[in-house]
Amino acid sequence: MKTVLFSAISLALLHLATPQPHRPRHDHIKRNAPVKVETKIDYVTVNAQDVIVYVDTQGKPVSTTTVYRNQPHPTSNPVAPSPSAQALNPLPPPQPQPQPEPEPQPQPQPQPQPQPQPQPQPQPQPAPAPAPGPDKPSTGGPVSSGPGFKSGVSYSPYNADNSCKSTQQVATDFTKITGYDVVRLYGTDCDQISNVLAATKGSNVRFFLGIFDLAQVQKEAEAVSKAVKGDWSRVNAVSVGNEMVNKGTDPGTVIGAIGQARGALKGHGYNGPIVTVDTMVAMVDHPEICKASDFCAINCHAFFDGKTRPEKSGDFIKGWVDKIEKATGKTVVVTETGWPTQGDTNGVAVPSQENHQAAMKSIQGTFANNVIFYSAYNDMWKKNAQGTFNAEQYWGIMGNAPSA
């Protein structure tokens, strides 16, 4: 009876010791962790390979222990089994429990490759400035010393109604224009260059020609070339603009026009002096326009000073010429000067025929050359104005033109 009871109890205990499946959990247990073994009467289910049940002489279980193969021994010391307990057959090995699948490790993301930074390109070095060519203003020689004439006079080919004078009228006017080395013209309209060249054919008169409109430099340069027909021997100099800076034009614009005219005229075979003409005040204030020219060309009238009497006109003009020559290092040519015969008084400057003669005598006594008088005849085509003391029409050396 005891044997049967012991067997029954043993079988029951062995059944209870059979491993039972675990419920799934969300957390993961650290693998290969040591298992804590407790000695208690409660029935427990553990992962084990061999389970031993200890009973007393009455067949009652008193303790159990788990022996792990190839594992470290438990830290607690279990109760030593009795010899009779060792006789029990070991339980069949438990079925291996499914191990949790390892979580997939995130693959390292490829690091973004640094974008190549643009390397600074070396800046091109400025090319050295070319040496001055023939289209640059001269700094020495006969050109920089001025056109080299003894006397000159200006002429305009317009009727009182602003119409152009005919070839015959121009020829008539030039029957009285004698004794001058140079005649100054201001533009290319009215075929004035061709008409004047025809009227003075066979004489030694040369011409101080003019390109008047800075916006039409190329066109007027071609007109000059066409008029002279390739014969530049009668051209003393060419001006580009008249008193443009004094009227408010930017000096840089004037300098650009000088360069444009120089290039255009050179292309047509002209290699003589090219200048701009302005007032003596504008030339002092902006010497760069003189330096861009082959010589300094100034319009200088003692009458507009208001403090200079006609007999001191020569001294007045010479003071400005010396000042500009000193400032620029270039010869100065007076391209306009004179005295009006009619108009309003300006301080001590009184327009009259007598004062006109006194001013002319003073200027001729002061300058032996490089002076152009203004003008051959009265310019009745102009408009008098208070700003010019209503004298604009009456500067003619010989009064009204014979062709009028």
Interatomic CA distance for residues 62 and 312, integer angstroms:
151
For 207, left (φ over 0), alpha (ψ -120 to 50), or beta? beta
DSSP state of 393: T
In the set 38, 336, 354, 392, the catalytic residue is: 336
Residue closest to 274 by CA, chosen among 241, 298, 244, 238:
238
Interatomic CA distance for residues 246 and 243, integer angstroms:
5
Interatomic CA distance for residues 391 and 147, integer angstroms:
30
Interatomic CA distance for residues 359 and 92, integer angstroms:
148
Bridge pairing between strands 372-373 and 152-154:
parallel
Q: Is residue 103 annotated as part of the catalytic site, yes or no? A: no
3-state helix/strand/coil string of 309-374: CHHHHHHHHHHHHHHHHHHHCCCEEEEECCCCCCCCCECCECCCHHHHHHHHHHHHHHCCCCEEEC
What is the phi/psi pair of residue 181, to 5°? -80, -35
* Residue with the two structure tokens 């004047």: 196
Q: What angle do CA 381, 385, 388 make, to 5 degrees?
A: 100
Q: Residue 121 class from Cβ within 10 Å (0-12 exposed, 13-18 middle, 19+ buried)?
A: exposed
Q: Residue 89 class from Cβ within 10 Å (0-12 exposed, 13-18 middle, 19+ buried)?
A: exposed
Q: How far apart are the first and last CA of the chain?
A: 172
Just list the catalytic residues.
336
